A and B are shown apart, each in its own frame.
Chain A
Amino acid sequence: MSSDSQALAPASSRLVERIALRLTLPAVLLAVPILVFLAIFFFYPAINLLFFSLLTQDAKGVVGPPHTLAHYTRFFEVDLYLRVFWNTLRISLVTSAFAIVLGYPVAIVMSRSGPIVSRTIALIVIAPLIVSVVVRSYGWQLILVNSPNGLLNWALMSIGIISEPLAILYSETAVVIGSLHVFFPMMVLPLASALGKIDPNLEDCARTLGAPWWKVFLRVTLPLSVPGLVAGFTLVFSLTAGSFVTPVILGGTTATMLGNLIEQQIFVVYDWPFGAAIAMVLVLVVFAINTLSMRLLEGRRFRSVS
């Protein structure tokens, strides 16, 4: 009896969902306030920004016509800007990659443990978000300082692993470490949620069919957790690419990112149209990478059994 009703449950719940969707169409109205807010305070300024990036600034600093693409060509022709562009992409991709590799084991443990263990791990993973990004970055600075007094260098040198202090601070590595620290929960939480939805019988079944643990992971767990992976990757990549504080404090002049470049153009150089153009490039890159990753990872064939 109970197993019969279990079998019927998915079909009937889907039906219920469909009916609910049709009946509660006015519920869409509940989303209106935030949509209006975003329209006024995000989409309108964003479009404004797009126009700004196409205008010219005269010698007196007045922004106006004629319309031009000169800011964009300048961005892609000057080596310095291009280098910052590639820095940003590289740091964001490396951070996301590390988040994936480090995130899977944590997410797997979270999805397999009881509520107490899994909530405790979630709390620990989320904890860095409680501390301000500035404080946290200065903390990392103290750890990574490029002199023998830095915590990391001191520790490694006292154990005898290295004899000369490492120069990690003010490098891309430092920015990756700092970003990973903050954005790690953005990878782990969606991943754990996706893994939790995988029927444990699927993995057991793969094992009985002759798959060792790593093949079970590659052929069953990984492909079925792709929705969580895409969500996590999108979040970590976008957030890292838009970083400003972390590269300033940990990256110094060597690991400058697009966010820092925009800040310089707006507040130091006062070249608003060029700053706007860089901002547009950043938006487009993040958008393109996210779209691409979704296509690539989800593929066309993925279908879920309800």
Chain B
Amino acid sequence: MNSAEVRLQALSKHYHRVAAVDDVSLTIEPGSMVALLGPSGCGKTTCLRMIAGLVSPSSGDILVNSERITRVPVHKRNIGMLFQNYALFPHMTVSENIAFGLDMRGIGKADAVKRVGHALDLVRLADFGGRFPSQLSGGQQQRVALARALVIEPAVLLLDEPLGALDKGLRESMQVELRALQRRLGVTTVMVTHDQDEALTMADRIVVMRDGRLEQVGTATEIYQRPASKFVATFLGASNLFNGTVERRNGGETLVTTGAGLSLSVDGVAADARDVVVSVRPEAVVVNRLNGSSPPQNVPNTIVAEIEQVIYRGFISHYYLKLQDGQELIAYQQNQTRDVAAAYAQGEKVIVRWDRSSNHVIAKD
């Protein structure tokens, strides 16, 4: 399959003066998989439907391989789309469903039969061609929808919450399967999801959207480890956010103090910054007992906290902590021994610390 490059240029969609998608520009590399991630109503589905041609943009352009397709009608765009509820034609068999797109392209019967067979093999449903969609499980329906979208050899594959309707176990295995298939075929893919795990697992690049705008674009690691805003920091996983003031600078290292008397040593603070927001991921926070010893003073990235609640989650425990000034702090810690989590009492004072490299300065709100 030849891979296409997709480019969105200042794409906007307004509904009665409300912007659903606002000035979105994005280049999607040929053969890559991009996930549009965001809460419901952030404009990600509208974006996807504009690429498909199901929604016409208020302004801006969509280019596939540098060719402007903004005004090309849906049925001439050569796009494979997977709908949230699969949208299989209930009155057609699995084979007829898959052959539909070939039929619309005027492909001869013999050739079509061969390609449908190939597509069924691809999604491991070779023996299901004669069944009706209602006779298939959710996962099988999903794979038929995928075969139907891929058999037309689309320039771009669009996935609208592709695995949202599957139960958890099936969803995880389908994520891996779908990703492997996409890599093998090399088809440029845009996926819409509100599920951060799905985006992190499947996408080469993640596009976080909020209120119709792009919030941050980057690889899974970039987005997770260096969130550009408070919104990204809290939408993808959990974050502990500290509002602090720059205390002193020492070369590349900056010392920031917060209201609770916590001092943070941080890299990469802008030279003119005074008030900054620092995020620390819960899994970076290490919880230890005080064991009667007096709390250390003026050690960066270390503070005394009080246990509010400990939730045992199997291989990890979630620690809900409270600092002196009332700020809440979350820590995720792997459970090494059998009863370590249960051993903490509510209200017990503990010492928490984390590595300097876990401090990340957030550029904007």
Contact = CB atoms under 8 A, between A and B. Distances in A.
B138 interface: yes
Contacts of A199: 85, 87
Interface in A5-33: 6-7
B81 A3 contact: no
A60 interface: no
Interface stretch (B115-123, B159-167, B182-190, B325-333): B159-167
A211 B97 CA distance: 13
B277 to A, nearest CB: 30
Interface stretch (A71-79, A114-122, A202-210): A202-210
Given A3-B165, A199-B87, A201-B85, A212 B134 contact: no
A204 B158 CA distance: 13
Interface string A206-240: 11111110010001100110000000000000000
B166 A209 contact: no
Contacts of B80: 208
B101 A202 contact: no
B129 to A, nearest CB: 15
B84 A207 contact: no
B148 interface: yes
Contact of A204 (B54, B89, B101, B104): B54
Point out which of B90, B132, B158, B168 has the most chain A C-beta atoms below 10 A from its C-beta.
Answer: B90
A303 B76 CA distance: 30
Given A210-B101, A211-B75, A306-B134, A204 B161 contact: no
Interface string B46-58: 0000001110000
Interface string B72-84: 0111111111011
A211 B99 CA distance: 12
B165 A7 contact: yes
Interface string B32-58: 000000000000000000001110000
B16 interface: no
B157 to A, nearest CB: 11
A7 B81 contact: no
B100 A7 contact: no
A204 B87 contact: yes
B91 interface: yes
Contacts of B134: 303-306
B165 A202 contact: no
Contacts of B84: 3, 201
Given A303-B132, A303-B134, A207 B74 contact: yes
A6 B53 CA distance: 27
Contacts of B158: 208
Interface residues of B, number: 38
Nearest to B91: A223
A204 B166 CA distance: 22
Point out which of B89, B152, B168 has the most chain A C-beta atoms below 10 A from its C-beta.
Answer: B89
B90 A224 contact: yes
Given A303-B91, A306-B134, A208 B77 contact: yes
A207 B90 contact: no
Nearest to B167: A4
B105 interface: yes
A7 B167 contact: yes
Nearest to B100: A209
Contact of B104 (A7, A209, A302, A304): A209
Given A4-B167, A209-B100, A305 B90 contact: yes
B280 interface: no
B91 A302 contact: yes
B116 to A, nearest CB: 13
B88 A305 contact: yes
Interface string B102-143: 001100000000000000000000000000111000100000
Point out which of B53, B81, B166 has the most chain A C-beta atoms below 10 A from its C-beta.
Answer: B81
Given A3-B161, A208-B77, A208-B81, A220 B89 contact: yes
Contacts of A202: 87, 89
A208 B85 contact: no
Contacts of A207: 53-54, 74-75
A224 B91 CA distance: 7
A208 to B, nearest CB: 4
Contacts of A220: 89
Nearest to B79: A208
A305 B90 CA distance: 6
Contact of A3 (B75, B77, B100, B164): B164
Nearest to B54: A204
Contact of B52 (A208, A223, A301, A304): A208
Point out which of B73, B85, B133, B168 has the most chain A C-beta atoms below 10 A from its C-beta.
Answer: B85
A209 B132 contact: no
A305 B80 CA distance: 22
A209 B88 CA distance: 12
Contacts of A219: 89, 100
A223 B104 CA distance: 17
B90 A206 contact: no
6 contacts: A199-B87, A201-B83, A208-B74, A220-B89, A302-B91, A303-B132
Interface of A: 3-4, 6-7, 199, 201-202, 204-212, 215, 219-220, 223-224, 301-306
Kindly list the 3 A-B residue pairs having the minimum CB-CB distance in the complex, ordered from nearest. Answer: A210-B104, A3-B164, A209-B101
Given A3-B164, A209-B75, A304-B90, 20 more contacts: A199-B87, A201-B83, A201-B84, A201-B85, A204-B81, A205-B81, A205-B89, A206-B89, A207-B53, A208-B53, A208-B54, A208-B77, A208-B79, A208-B158, A209-B100, A210-B101, A210-B104, A224-B90, A303-B134, A305-B88
